Structure 1
Amino acid sequence: MTVTVRFAPSPTGRIHIGNARTALFNWLFAMKNGGRFVQRFDDTDIARSKQEYADAILYDLHWLGIFPDATEIQSRRFGRYDEVTEWMKAAGLLYACYETQEELELRRKIRLSRKLPPVYGREALKLTPEEREALEAEGRKPHWRFLLPNFKHDPFDTERTEIHWNDLVRGEETVDLASLSDPVLVREDGTYLYTLPSVVDDIDMGITHIIRGDDHVTNTGVQIALFRALGAEAPIFGHHNMLTTSGGEGLSKRTGALSISGLRESGIEPMAVASLAVLIGSSENVAAMPSMSELASHFDPAATSKSASKFDPDELIVLNRTLLHKMPFEQAQDRLSALGVSGDQAEAFWLAVRGNLDKLADAAGWWRIVRQGPEQTDELSEQDAEFVREALELLPEEPWDRETWKSWTNAVKEATGRKGKALFMPLRLALTGLASGPELADLLPLLGREGTLARRP
């Protein structure tokens, strides 16, 4: 059996870090098990689903390093869902209901007032053919509920009916079907809710493992019952904890909170996003993984906490910095070239500045300083400016290498008596215009003697 997983968002907005967590859990699980990853768009909500969002989701996944083995689209499979629906109606597994939302809410309140669980009482099963005809004559159209198998003979005499599964993340889980209302699978207008198309697709597409957020735990009991009703073995389920904002709010595609596109546009590296999305809320320390294969070696769904994890975007900067500080020139070369960083000095420049970058785009500023000089050196006092002019007179002849800085500053120290910060800070300000930055021993050969002298205050 080939392990087959799926990531099945609704294309109603841009995916965020929480959605990416689910996608990455599935991708890494497939990677570790030599399996397949199916990208499925659950777009049965025609009014809100848009092709532009589907395209954007695929782009975001590719940017993260996820490349689906297949792409499926639910809106192209309505005929299949219709076929299953008709079979379920004929088998007595779906039954017509005519209550309005107001009527259902009133019944719910009555049950609560009687200290009864607020589940649907299956009143529609008691309707006679004549009563159904009368309701339809009023203009009512039925919605269709799945008759849960939580009784022996009489559907009005429910009994505790436990659905068990060994969750990949949470361990042994149990849902009592008697505590649930029969779920609506088909709306009054004939459109489908999530459950039926999802289960039919999972069967038809050979999905072996379903890994998703723990907000679906209760749904799983119903879905396992539906798999069985359709004569199929249910996949293995895993429910990871949810991510929230640092303030504890949930994430939403509609609000765009922490969207993958937004993180990408802000300059965050994909492996910084992937590392934090996967390792946060697990027994593993959150660390910047340089590749998806390395991340896979640290991925264990069973090591994930059961409680929600707060996502702090500031942690991404720390991970981003770590990745950049270790990034080889070959990996950064094309992106540096797009920033205008190219030529014979590009590699030496990258090795000199990468340890001081928060984001790769920051390299452009240092390239400008190296090539054109600092924008201003106003922070130099007249005394320090005179010191820099004296120091520049002591510059050695070329060729220069990394040792040039040491030999030059030793000569300056001997000639002026300055040492420590009083010696180094004025030189740094004159050469870069900034009080901190890459090692000047690395920058000096890039500036060259002529470029250094050009920075005389």
Structure 2
Amino acid sequence: MTVTTRFAPSPTGYLHIGGARTALFCWLYARRHGGRFVLRIEDTDLERSTPEAINAILEGMSWLGLDYDEGPLYQTHRFDRYREVIDRMLEEGTAYRCYCSRERLDALRADQQARKEKPRYDGRCRDLTEPPADAEGEPVIRFRQPRAGHTVVDDQVKGKVVFDNAELDDLIIARADGSPTYNFVVVVDDMDMDITHVIRGDDHLNNSARQGNILRALGVEPPVYAHVPMILDESGKKLSKRAGAASVMEYRDAGYLPEAVINYLVRLGWAHGDQEVFGLDEMIEYFDIADINHSASSLNPSKLDWLNQHYMKTLPPAHVARHLAWHLGAMDIDPGADDGPDIERVVQAQAERSKTLVEMAENSRFFYREPEGYDEKSARKHLKGSDTVLAALVDALSALQDWHAEAIHQAVSGVAEEQELKMGKVAQPLRVAVSGGPVSPPIDITLELLGRETALARISKAREWALQRAESSA
């Protein structure tokens, strides 16, 4: 048997973080067992499904690196197949036509609720051999649910879940206009695509009994089910697309690496001992449905920040640089074309000082764009009255034959010694002069990355600023 899993989102919105975790679990299980991972777009909700949402799902999967072996497959392309199966079920008697009006069904439901009974269809049309005299319009098609006994779902996360068949409804599998319903098309798709394992949110647990019974009526053994507890937000509420769950691409926009998001997602409901950081190969090797937690997980943004900084520091600089370039591009900076240092060297210099790529990009802007001004507080504290120090720095740095960090450090240290100042009293005015603010990588590395011409020009400009302020306050 080839293990085959599927991720089957409905394109009624973006790929949110809960859906991405489901996709990851399905992907990991298939990859661990050398199986197939299918992407299926469940787009039968024609009113709410949109091409934009489909593109958002595909973009999110691509960014996360969750490649699929088959797909994307679209349910709207398979309507002929669904009609074929419905015709077969009608012929075999596992489905029947229901002529009950909306008014009758509403009245039935109201009566059952008044008697504190579980609302369900009463089977009026279940054994009809011809339409009733009062039938109007086209009938719906219902599945003939077994009424006796129990249906057992041997769920890999929840354990054995027993459903009383008498409590299960004869659900509608095709509407009066002929369009198939969710629980039916899912069954046909899982059957035709040879899905062996269904990993999905536990809000679908009740569907498993109904879907399993339809599969058995079609002569097919149901797949193995694993229903994963929901993800809760920081306040303990359920995540959903309608309740503002964050889109996967919002994590990209906020400056997170896909490796960090994948690592973060896998730990939302799964564990391997006390290990927190997992490479992709390790996830594939260790992941097992049996290790999925039984209780809900909660988002922890501080852990994501920690993971992201870890990956920014440990992944190859060239890889991080590709993602950083995207964020610099959003700031209208092209590190490959604009004057400035090699972006991989910027990553190496900034990785220890940034939790997100957005923060790294903002802190690295000065390498590619001259600051429009100086941070007011920093300028008042470090630049004001620093014209003598800055002049000495220009002289010392201009004399350097070797523009590298070690030589630059010696020159700056020499100025501090000559001026009888602590290193910070020299380095901080210099930092504000070249970066516009109080924070940068070590000043010798910062100057090396900026280059001789740019660094000296900015120091000279800061000295002029300091002189002007001194004259205006005299």
Question: TM-score if structure 2 supplies the norm length?
Answer: 0.83
Residues 103 and 273 (structure 1), Cα distance of their counterparts in 2 relative to 1, 3 Å cut: farther
Please show how residues 422-441 of structure 1 align to structure 2 within 5 Å.
422-441=425-444
User: CA separation of 1:346/1:86 partners in 2, compared to 1, >3 Å: closer, same or farther?
Assistant: closer
Q: What is the alpha-carbon distance in structure 2 between the residues aligned to residue 297 and residue 120 of structure 1?
A: 47
Residue of structure 1 equivalent to 2:335: 341
Pairwise mapping of residues 100-119 of structure 1 onto structure 2 (< 5 A)? Answer: 100-119=101-120
Report the Cα offset of residue 34 of structure 1: 0.6
DSSP-derived class of the 1:60 partner = helix
* Alpha-carbon distance in 2 for matches of 1:413, 1:349: 26
Query: What CA distance in whole angstroms lies between the structure 2 residues aligned with 1:374 and 1:264?
Result: 26
Q: How has the CA–CA distance of structure 1 residues 442 and 350 changed in structure 2, closer, same or farther, with 3 Å as cutoff?
A: same
Shift of 1:248: 4.2
Matches of 2:433 and 2:161 in 1, distance apart?
A: 66
CA distance in 2, matches of 1:362, 1:115: 57
Which among 294, 310, 328 is matched to residue 316 of structure 2?
328
Distance in 2 (alpha carbons) for counterparts of 1:108 and 1:182: 14
Identical pairs, percent = 36
Contact 1:242 1:309 in 2 (8 A): yes
1:81 partner letter: Y
**Counterpart in the other structure of 1:355:** 352
Which amino acid counterpart does residue 123 of structure 1 have in structure 2?
Answer: R
Residue equivalent to 2:100: 99
Aligned counterpart, 1:220: 208
Q: Separation in 2 of the partners of 1:296 and 1:117?
A: 43
Deviates more, 1:256-265 or 1:6-15: 256-265
- 269 and 233 in structure 1: CA distance in 2 versus 1, 3 angstrom threshold: same
Shift of 1:352: 1.5
Aligned to 2:469: none
Structure 1 residue 421: Cα displacement: 4.2
- Which secondary structure state, in structure 2, belongs to the residue aligned with residue 133 of structure 1? coil
Aligned partners of 2:335 and 2:368 also within 8 Å? no
Q: Deviations over 1:346-400 (max 9, x none)?
A: 4333321233334435555555423554433333353344434344444462313
Residue 301 and residue 437 in structure 1: after superposition, are their counterparts in 2 closer, same or farther (change >3 A)?
farther
Which SS does the other structure have where 1:134 is aligned? coil
- State which of 169, 172, 176 in structure 2 corresponds to 1:181: 169
Equivalent residue for 1:156?
none
Match of 1:276 in 2: 264
Deviates more, 1:397-406 or 1:234-243: 397-406
CA contact under 8 A between 1:146 and 1:184: conserved in structure 2?
yes
The unaligned stretches of length 5 or more in structure 2 are 464-474
Question: What is the SS of the residue equivalent to 2:162?
Answer: strand
Provide the TM-score with structure 1 as the length reference: 0.85
> Which residue of structure 2 lines up, in the alignment, with residue 389 of structure 1?
391
Matched, 1:64 2:64: yes
Question: Quick check: 1:49 aligned with 2:37?
Answer: no
Give the letter aligned to residue 20 of structure 2: A
**Equivalent position SS for 2:173:** strand
Deviation for aligned residue 1:149: 1.7
What are the equivalent positions in structure 2 for 1:197-216 lying under 5 Å apart? 197-216=185-204
Q: Pairwise mapping of residues 134-153 of structure 1 onto structure 2 (< 5 A)?
A: 134-136=133-135, 139-151=136-148
Deviations 1:247-268 (A, max 9, x none): 4444444676412233334443
Report how many residues are paired: 443
Give 3-state SS (helix, strand or coil) of 1:403's partner. Answer: helix
Post-superposition CA distance 1:194-230 (Å, at most 9, x none): 1121111211111111111111111111111111111
The 1:370/1:76 distance shift into structure 2, 3 A limit, reads closer
The 1:450/1:14 distance shift into structure 2, 3 A limit, reads closer
Distance 2:207 2:15 in 1: 22
For residues 417 and 341 of structure 2, the distance between their equivalents in structure 1, rounded to whole angstroms, comes to 35
Match of 1:369 in 2: 366
Residue-by-residue CA offset, 1:155-179 (whole Å, 9 max, x unaligned): xxxxx413131x3333333333332
Q: CA deviation at 1:332?
A: 3.9
SS of 2:125's equivalent in the other structure is helix
Root-mean-square deviation (Å) = 3.0
Change in CA separation of 1:170 and 1:412 when aligned onto 2, cut-off 3 Å: farther
Change (3 A) 1:172 1:328: same
Aligned-partner SS, 2:133: helix
Is this contact kept in 1: 2:254–2:358, CA < 8 A?
no
* Map of 1:87 onto structure 2: 88
Query: Aligned with 2:134: secondary structure?
Result: helix
**Distance in 1 separating the partners of 2:334 and 2:118:** 66
Match of 2:153 in 1: 164
The residue type paired with residue 160 of structure 2 is: E
Distance in 2, matches of 1:99 and 1:315, equals: 54
Residues 248-267 of structure 1 aligned to structure 2 (within 5 Å)? 248-253=236-241, 257-267=245-255
Between the aligned partners of 1:283 and 1:364, the Cα distance in structure 2 is 33
| Contact kept in structure 2, 1:325 and 1:356, CA below 8 Å | no
